[in-house]
Amino acid sequence: MKIAVVGTGYVGLVTGTCLAETGNEVICVDCDAAKIAMLCKGRVPIYEPGLAELVTRNVSAGRLNFTTDLAAAASRLLFLAIGTPSLPDGTGDLSALWSVIAEVAPLLKPESIVVLKSTVPVGTNAAVTARLEQLTGFRCQVANNPEFLKEGAAIEDFMKPDRVVIGARRDEVFDVLGELYQPYLRTDKPLLCMSPESAEMTKYAANAMLATKISFINEMANLCQATGADINQVRRGIGHDSRIGFAFLFPGAGYGGSCFPKDVRALAATARAHGLRPQILDAVHEVNVRQKMVVFDKICRHFRGDLSGRTIAVWGLAFKPGTDDIREAPALVLIDALAARGVSLRVHDPEALQNVRRQYGSRLVYCTQQYEALQGADALAVMTEWKHFVHPDFRRVRQLLRQPVIFDGRNLYSLRQMRQSGFTYYSIGRPDVLPEKPHG
Ligand SMILES: NC(=O)c1ccc[n+]([C@@H]2O[C@H](COP(=O)([O-])OP(=O)(O)OC[C@H]3O[C@@H](n4cnc5c(N)ncnc54)[C@H](O)[C@@H]3O)[C@@H](O)[C@H]2O)c1
């Protein structure tokens, strides 16, 4: 099939590339000229495992092309993967989407299908259908096809989804999209056909559920800390219950990224707009905002509030491992809070340094090597669970830090190991490891 994908960000680029991989002819369009120029030169502007190889292969095969020219997007299937960020009140900002709708209208024919891949509030599909009818003079086919990929595993998730959700009103749309997705559903995973409203709601409900699990386990972790229990043991205790399971029950320094924070707030805003009180959603958000300060609070307590002139090393800046995405990353909340108290920061991340540098400029010391960040620091804070942080050379860590103190926002290390290696160690929802004699 000939397909256009408008919006070549995390979702659009992965969607376009994976659709080209199964033989479709795909054109990816974006208004960001620098991004498109990079892609045309064979460079991928984001870090996503496996993506660069897949882009190169499909560009070489002539199936994948990039342009800033929306007119080139005229094709039967038009996917829209435009960003839908939050407005200050939590509602989704659809202004970019609406401007794209106006721009694509002249390209549409009665047989075209506009597929909304962006996460959009319930009712958007119907509103887009009405707007396109005004602009084109005919009833356009609009479908909702929410994306469930996880950054860091986006290719795998797109190629082998747990399910594909299509929201539409006409059987023909289900048939065309069903055929498109058939190669990705070969392991008997379902294509779920539903109303556009249900599809729109499904995406928010999925993210809200996952965010709820994270805020729940974080609240339990804080309770464990207060009562002397260990959240790792409790996690195992509940996770083996088949009604509960282990997925998304990792305590940490809060969830970030471009989706969970914005989607939880947007869904709460939808509830309010319908006169409902979103009690759970509000609590999930509040717990998360609070949780993002947990590591900062521990650092303050350890240094008895005296932070000025200190240096802290931070390992991990991306909101999760496997990506360079720093949107709403817990590490940035920690960095802002520490910087505001006069702390110098030496930061390391294997992929996200450039994005952080773009935001913070000369205010931080950027270290391409994890051990370089420790040089002369008063303590280490671990904020993203990149694999190479899991088994560091603790002797080297001890030597480089001024004092052997670790604040672990991801519970990477065992309490026994920390005790044996002589570290003062603070983690999430587990007892602190304190030295018998104070350091230094
Ligand atoms: N990132 C994720 O993990 C993820 C997962 C599932 C769903 N989503 C949803 O998918 C949507 C896109 O998210 P993303 O992370 O890919 O966003 P993104 O910011 O990475 O990409 C959006 C792209 O749209 C482009 N754009 C904006 N206005 C445009 C215009 N007028 N014409 C052409 N291009 C334009 C931007 O330049 C950008 O490249 C959002 O609604 C998001 O909630 C994201």
How buried is 394 (Cβ within 10 angstroms: 0-12 exposed, 13-18 middle, 19+ buried)? middle
Written as six digits, the tokens of 321 are 């491992």
pLDDT digits (tens, 9 = 90+) for 349-388: 999 999 999 999 999 999 999 999 999 999 999 999 999 9
pTM: 0.95
- 10 C-alpha to center of ligand 1: Å? 7
pLDDT digits (tens, 9 = 90+) for 271-313: 999 999 999 999 999 999 999 999 999 999 999 999 999 999 9
- 81 C-alpha to center of ligand 1: Å? 5
* Nearby residues of 176 by Cβ (< 8 Å), 6 or more positions away: 76, 77, 113
Pocket test of ligand 1: the residue of 68, 147, 263 to mutate, having most ligand atoms within 8 Å of its CB, is 147
Q: Which atom of ligand 1 is nearest to the CA of 7?
A: 24
Written as six digits, the tokens of 392 are 């560091």
Distance CA 271, CA 201 (A): 11
Look up 259 and say whether it is catalytic.
Answer: yes
Distance CA 29, CA 65 (A): 9
- 423 C-alpha to center of ligand 1: Å? 43
Whether 81 lines ligand 1, by a CB cut-off of 6 Å, is yes
pLDDT score at 438: 62
Do 29 and 67 touch, CB atoms closer than 8 A?
yes
pLDDT score at 273: 95
Nearest CA to ligand 1 atom 7: 147
pLDDT score at 187: 86
Do 200 and 121 touch, CB atoms closer than 8 A?
yes
Closest CA to 316 of 259, 392, 263: 392
Q: Which atom of ligand 1 is nearest to the CA of 92?
A: 41
Closest CA to 173 of 138, 139, 143: 143
Distance CA 83, CA 78 (A): 16
Whether 95 lines ligand 1, by a CB cut-off of 6 Å, is no
Distance CA 367, CA 373 (A): 6
Whether 12 lines ligand 1, by a CB cut-off of 6 Å, is yes
Whether 10 lines ligand 1, by a CB cut-off of 6 Å, is yes
Helix or strand run (H / E) with residue 331: helix 330-340
- 3-class DSSP assignment, residue 243: coil
Do 143 and 115 touch, CB atoms closer than 8 A?
yes
pLDDT digits (tens, 9 = 90+) for 163-204: 999 999 999 999 999 999 999 999 889 999 999 999 999 999
Written as six digits, the tokens of 242 are 């088949």
Extended strands (E) in 226-343? 311-315
Q: Which atom of ligand 1 is nearest to the CA of 262?
A: 43
Q: Which atom of ligand 1 is nearest to the CA of 29?
A: 33
Whether 258 lines ligand 1, by a CB cut-off of 6 Å, is yes
pLDDT score at 183: 96
Residue 392 one-letter amino acid? P
Written as six digits, the tokens of 40 are 């045309």
Whether 6 lines ligand 1, by a CB cut-off of 6 Å, is yes
Which CB contacts under 8 angstroms, 24+ apart, belong to 361-367? 363/339, 364/335, 364/339, 367/313
- 3-class DSSP assignment, residue 426: strand
Distance CA 144, CA 134 (A): 20
pLDDT score at 440: 52
Q: Which atom of ligand 1 is nearest to the CA of 100?
A: 31
Written as six digits, the tokens of 186 are 């070969």
Pocket test of ligand 1: the residue of 28, 35, 82 to mutate, having most ligand atoms within 8 Å of its CB, is 82
- 82 C-alpha to center of ligand 1: Å? 4
* Neighbour-count burial for 399-436, b at 16+ CB within 10 Å, e otherwise: ebbeebbbbbbbbbbebeebeebebbbbbbbbeebeee
What are residue 87's phi and psi, to 5 degrees?
-85, 165
- Beta strand 25-29 with 164-167: parallel, antiparallel or unpaired? unpaired
Q: Which residues in the chain land under pLDDT 50?
A: none
